[in-house]
Amino acid sequence: MGVEYRHFLLPRPNRFLPTAAQLETFLKRMIDARWLPVELPSSEVNRSYRFRAHRAREHLALDAMPSAASLAEWLDRDTKLVWSIGQFSHFSLNYPLTPLDRWQNLDEMYYDMVIEWSPDYIYRLPDGIDPFDRVVCPCGASLEIDDSELHIEEPVRDLFYTSIIRASCPACGRQADVSDWPAVVRDDKTGILNVVPGGATSRFSLIVDCGKGYPSSNRMELKPEIVALFRETFGCDSYECIEYY
């Protein structure tokens, strides 16, 4: 079956959620810098590229980038924007990860570039990241909506296939910030344990999902130009997490 790989760029503080104008600017700058396709490809490569949005139970195939007005309507809902690059060599794109030493044939390279957000926290628990010790408000109320409850929420909240942590307490209304919550992270390559505040949990993230097509057996990082663009556009700090699954 093989190992699959995902790489996360997460904001600091983890509570960060962009405005629609910031998000529209980020998409435009990603296109200008050739991290995202500038337009839908010609017919001969249509099968190797898809751009789509997912909102709760809605799955939208889009033929253009969403406008700031559309994004403003989506920011209060669980949403994913997904660019599926099926054959990297068909596009004049910059590859987002480094190093690039595993693939010799660019036709074999593929990945999804994903931007996802939620009005609450997406509680990601990939292999190698332990759960938080407690997911409760100081008042004692639970903040977690676990997997078994997501399908009975209104609207249904199973888009991310993981639990949700409420951004505000349902009992007292206090705002939750997981940025200081410690999570133990294990490096699958070295076995070294580190404590990472916030773990891989956030309300907003940029993800490179390589599937089985990850380009290096060494530890990878996002290209520094993407990280700089992320920080400059959103006016926040950031950090990276990885997942082998």
Question: pTM to 2 decimals?
Answer: 0.87
Q: Number of folded domains in the chain?
A: 1
Q: What is the rounded distance in angstroms from the CA atom of residue 91 to the CA atom of residue 245?
A: 27
Q: What is the rounded distance in angstroms from the CA atom of residue 213 to the CA atom of residue 93?
A: 16
Mean of the per-residue pLDDT values for the chain? 83
pLDDT tens-digit readout, 187-230: 766 778 889 999 999 999 999 999 887 777 777 899 999 999 99
Check residue 47 and give its pLDDT.
38
pLDDT tens-digit readout, 82-126: 888 877 767 778 889 988 766 656 667 788 999 999 999 999 998
- Return the beta strands (E) in the chain as ranges: 5-12, 49-55, 58-61, 79-85, 97-98, 111-123, 144-145, 163-165, 182-186, 193-197, 202-211, 221-222, 237-244
% of residues, the chain, pLDDT over 70: 79
Q: What is the rounded distance in angstroms from the CA atom of residue 169 to the CA atom of residue 171?
A: 5
Spatial CA neighbour of 227 closest among 97, 80, 117 = 97
Angle (CA) 197 202 206, round 5°: 115
Domain of 200, in residue numbers: 5-244
| pLDDT bucket at 14, cuts 50 / 70 / 90 | very high
Which of the pair, 151 or 169, is modelled with greater confidence? 169
